[in-house]
Structure 1
Amino acid sequence: MAKLFIFGIGGTGSRVIKSLTMLLASGIKSFNDFDIIPIIIDPHKDNEDLKRTVSILDHYQKIKDKIGTNNEFFGTKITTLQSLDSKRRMGGTYSFTLKAVSNTKFKDYFSYSSLNDENKSLAELLFSGKSIDTNKKEIDLLDIPMDIGFVGNPNIGSVVLNQFRDSDEFKDFANNFSEGDRIFIISSIFGGTGAAGFPIVLKNIRNAVNNKELANGGYLQNSAIGALTVLPYFNIETDKDSPIKRGDFIEKTKAALGYYQNNVNPILNAMYYVGDDYSGKPYKNDAGQGGQKNDAHFIEIAGALAIIDFMNTDSDSLLCEGGKPLLNICKEYSIKEDAALLNFKHLNDYSNTILRRNLVQFTLFKKYLDKQFEQSIGNKTWSTDTPAIDHSFKNNQFFNSNLKSFLKAYEDWLTELNQNSRGFAPFNLSSDINTTVNGFEMSKSMFGLGKFDFDKFDMELNRTVRNEVYSSADQKLIQLFFKATSAIVSNRYGF
Structure 2
Amino acid sequence: METLKQKNTMARLYIFAIGGTGSRVLKSLTMLLASGVKPNSDKNFEIVPIIIDPHKSNEDLKRTERLLGNYQTISNDAGLDSGFFSTKITTLDRLTTSQNRLSGSFTFNLQEVGGRKFSEYIGFSQLDEPNKALADILFSGKSINKRHEEVNLLDVEMDIGFVGNPNIGSIVLNQVKDSQEFKDFASNFNEDDRVFIISSIFGGTGAAGFPTILKNIRDAMNNRNIDGKGFLQDAKIGAVTVLPYFNIEKDSDSPIQKSDFIAKTKAALYYYKDNVTGNNSINSLYYIADNYSGKPYKNDPGDNGQKNDAHFVEMASALAIIDFLETPDSDLETSEGKALKPIYKEFGIRKDSADIKFSDLEDYTERKIAMRLSQLALFRKYLTEHLSNAIEKEAWSNDSPEINKKFIDDTFYRTNLSEFLSSFADWLKEMADNKRGFSPFNLDSSIEALIEGRTVKSGWFSSKVDFPSMDNKLSKQGKGKTYSSASQKLIKLFYDTTEEILTSKFGLKN
- Same fold flag (TM > 0.5): yes
1:269-318 deviation digits (Å, cap 9, x = unpaired): 10001110111111111111111100000000110100000011111111
Q: Alpha-carbon deviation of 1:397?
A: 1.0
Aligned-residue sequence identity (percent) comes to: 54
User: The residue matched to 1:56 in structure 2 has which SS?
Assistant: helix
Q: Which AA in structure 2 matches 1:12?
A: T
The total of aligned residue pairs comes to 494
> Which range moved further: 341-350 or 365-374?
341-350
Q: Give the counterpart of 2:395 among 381, 392, 406.
A: 381
* Cα separation, 2, equivalents of 1:211 and 1:129: 32
Q: Which AA in structure 1 matches 2:421?
A: L
The equivalent of 1:21 in structure 2 is 30
User: The residue matched to 1:139 in structure 2 has which SS?
Assistant: strand
1:309-333 deviation digits (Å, cap 9, x = unpaired): 0011111111111111111010000
Gaps of 5+ in 1: none
Q: Which AA in structure 1 matches 2:360?
A: H
* Cα separation, 2, equivalents of 1:181 and 1:72: 23
The equivalent of 2:257 in structure 1 is 245
* Cα separation, 2, equivalents of 1:15 and 1:64: 21
Gaps of 5+ in 2: 1-9
Q: Give the counterpart of 1:254 among 229, 242, 266.
A: 266
The equivalent of 2:76 in structure 1 is 65
1:11 aligns with 2:23: no
* Cα separation, 2, equivalents of 1:466 and 1:438: 32
Q: How does 1:35-434 map onto structure 2 within 5 Å? A: 35-85=46-96, 92-216=104-228, 218-265=230-277, 266-434=280-448
User: The residue matched to 2:49 in structure 1 has which SS?
Assistant: strand
Q: Alpha-carbon deviation of 1:46?
A: 0.6
Q: Alpha-carbon deviation of 1:91?
A: 6.8
Q: Alpha-carbon deviation of 1:116?
A: 2.0
* Cα separation, 1, equivalents of 2:304 and 2:14: 30
* Cα separation, 2, equivalents of 1:140 and 1:467: 71
> Which range moved further: 469-478 or 90-99?
90-99
* Cα separation, 2, equivalents of 1:240 and 1:87: 48
1:457 aligns with 2:470: yes
TM-score normalised according to structure 2 size? 0.95
Q: Which AA in structure 2 matches 1:374?
A: S
Q: 1:20 to 1:171 in 2, by over 3 A?
A: same
Aligned Cα RMSD in Å? 1.4
Q: Which AA in structure 2 matches 1:474?
A: S
The question of whether the paired residues in 2 share the 8 Å contact of 1:209 and 1:217 is answered with: no
1:481 aligns with 2:490: no
1:438 aligns with 2:449: no
Q: Alpha-carbon deviation of 1:441?
A: 2.1
User: The residue matched to 1:34 in structure 2 has which SS?
Assistant: strand
> Which range moved further: 271-280 or 214-223?
214-223
* Cα separation, 1, equivalents of 2:97 and 2:224: 23
Q: Alpha-carbon deviation of 1:117?
A: 2.2
Q: Which AA in structure 1 matches 2:50?
A: I
Q: Alpha-carbon deviation of 1:354?
A: 0.7
The question of whether the paired residues in 2 share the 8 Å contact of 1:49 and 1:294 is answered with: yes
The question of whether the paired residues in 1 share the 8 Å contact of 2:189 and 2:229 is answered with: no
User: The residue matched to 1:95 in structure 2 has which SS?
Assistant: coil
1:65-121 deviation digits (Å, cap 9, x = unpaired): 111221210000001000112589997010001000111011111111111222222
Q: Alpha-carbon deviation of 1:448?
A: 2.0
* Cα separation, 2, equivalents of 1:150 and 1:244: 11
TM-score normalised according to structure 1 size? 0.98
Q: Which AA in structure 1 matches 2:485?
A: S
* Cα separation, 2, equivalents of 1:398 and 1:449: 36
User: The residue matched to 1:102 in structure 2 has which SS?
Assistant: coil
Q: Alpha-carbon deviation of 1:40?
A: 0.4
1:160-211 deviation digits (Å, cap 9, x = unpaired): 1110110111001111111100000000011000000111100111111112
Q: Which AA in structure 1 matches 2:378?
A: L
The question of whether the paired residues in 2 share the 8 Å contact of 1:418 and 1:424 is answered with: yes
The question of whether the paired residues in 2 share the 8 Å contact of 1:417 and 1:423 is answered with: yes
User: The residue matched to 1:2 in structure 2 has which SS?
Assistant: strand
User: The residue matched to 1:38 in structure 2 has which SS?
Assistant: strand
